[in-house]
Amino acid sequence: MSTTDMTNTADTPGSKSHGRLHPVLIALTVMLAAALLTHFIPAGKFQRDGRHVIPGTYQVIAKEIGLPALLSPSVPKANESPAHAAGVVSLFAAIPSGFVAQAPLIFMLMFAGGTFGVLRATGAIDAAIDDLLHVSSGNAYVLVTGALLLIACGATFMGFSSEYVAIMPLVLSLTRRLKCPNLVAAAIVVLGADIGYIASVTNPNALAVAQPLAGVPIFSGILPRLAIFVVMLGLGLGYVMLYLHRLPKADYVPGAKRLTAHQFRVLIALVLGGAALVAGTSVWSWRHSEQAAAFLALSLLISLAGGMRMNQAADALLDGMKNMVLPITMIGLGGAVGVILESSQIQDSIVQSLASLIQGQPHAAVTACLMVAEMMFGILIHSVSAKAAVSIPILAPIAHLSGVSGQLTVTALLLGSGLINMISPTNGLLLAFLAVSKVDYIAWLRFVAPLFIVLCAVGFTALFLMTSFGS
């Protein structure tokens, strides 16, 4: 089978979409579904202390639904009473509001794309990949394993996730040089990031919010999460290796090393910039705005190291930004879904309903119910920290009354959140990953579904064992 045969229409940059649903259309369909939900789910609200809900304060709010809400010329606000279901005007208004809500992430991705545009223009990446292929003799198993391990460790120890959209073009360049379909690039990044987040061994973004709310020290319970990480990462790697094994073997013709002195300096600048980003995120708590500034500074450093003319560097920066238009659009549309649900005030009602289902369940079933509840709630909110702020204050007391520890509650949150993010069509970040790698969402579902089922079984087993051993 030729390389062209291996890479379907969705894999080819610039190809027309035949027989596949465009990612933007998927996001718009999800928006419509969310808007319909606002007409059927009652509105309700918890009182809050900052961003954290106060248990026992849920109240149903009157809500305008049906044709009056559908044709309303006004845009509902998150705290107004009565609440309003989504209408035609508010549905369209949610799109720019979603982009505004995701603005820090969008700017970070835009400048990150520009950085890799400058990097690509230096030729250093192509040369480095050639040298990497030369050293490894084109061994796809070694290179894919190394990339997936690196991404998973960054996610589970440092909390990286959305930042990986920016490196997707690099992973894509590597897998194409290995003559692998684009699905392999998507698997490396999505599985690495999600499995890392599922375990969150020392992930500060998730643990700093979830564990204090559950009444346990930050970063406590590392060993069970580390065991979950090792098992799930092993399964994920094995699954990708099995997929690679089934692909037709591509003949590797070794070439001469061709990394120039300029390009070597560019790679040193890239490593230093990456180290600064890691330090800034972990030590100085840089968020998306600071990361965007760091990427912009890194663009300048790379252009100087590569000996580029300023006009050439500026053009490369803009070209790189253009490549981020589709993933940025997916992030913004994902934010629009959150705006629709929040403005119609149904998120708290969903949390209350899930809590009612868990309450009164047998002890052995409570942890499994917690994980399922977090998966269901994760379809609406994809940020683990945001989900923790809303759900844990409600679910943790219920779990405690059933004899389930705060540590188990946090683990159930992490498992449910990470697993559902692997397949959720409302997850703008997943759609952004697939958009950059030009992989169809349905093709991704077909690929990942067996692994998803296995990882769910591992999650339930881990919770059962932790309950049995009194974690």
The string of DSSP letters for 82-95 reads SEE---HHHHHHHH
- The pTM of this model reads 0.83
User: Given this model, what pLDDT does residue 162 score?
Assistant: 84
Q: In this structure, are residues 237 and 187 in contact, taking their beta carbons and an 8 Å threshold?
A: no
**pLDDT reported for residue 3:** 35
| pLDDT at res. 56 | 81
Percent of the chain with pLDDT over 90: 44
Instruction: Read off the DSSP letter of residue 61.
Output: E
Average pLDDT over every residue of 236-246: 96
Q: What is the mean pLDDT of the chain?
A: 86
Whether the link from the prior residue into 82 is cis, omega within 30° of 0, is yes
Q: How far apart are CA 200 and CA 231, in angstroms?
A: 13
Q: pLDDT value at position 11? A: 45
The pLDDT of residue 167: 85
Highest average pLDDT, of 7-16, 271-280, 334-343, 445-454, comes from 445-454
pLDDT tens-digit series, residues 99-140: 999 999 899 989 999 998 999 899 888 888 888 887 887 888
Three-state secondary structure call for residue 346: coil
Is the pLDDT assigned to residue 403 strictly greater than 90? no
- Check residue 246 and give its pLDDT: 92
Q: Give per-residue pLDDT as tens, 33-72.
A: 989 999 999 999 888 777 677 878 889 999 988 888 888 8
| pLDDT(173) > 50 | yes
What is the rounded CA–CA span in Å between residue 444 and residue 195? Answer: 16
CB distance 392 to 214 below 8 Å? yes
What pLDDT, on the 0 to 100 scale, is given for residue 423?
A: 94
pLDDT tens digits, 4-32: 333 343 443 334 444 567 888 888 998 99
What is the structure's pLDDT at 334? 87
Strand partners, 43: 61
Token couple for 284: 């100085």
182: pLDDT confidence band, cut at 50, 70 and 90?
very high
Strands 59-61 and 43-45: antiparallel
Residues in the chain: 471
Question: At a CB cut-off of 8 Å and minimum separation 6, what does 428 contact?
Answer: 27, 102, 330, 331, 332, 333, 334, 335, 337, 382
Q: Is the pLDDT of residue 442 over 50?
A: yes
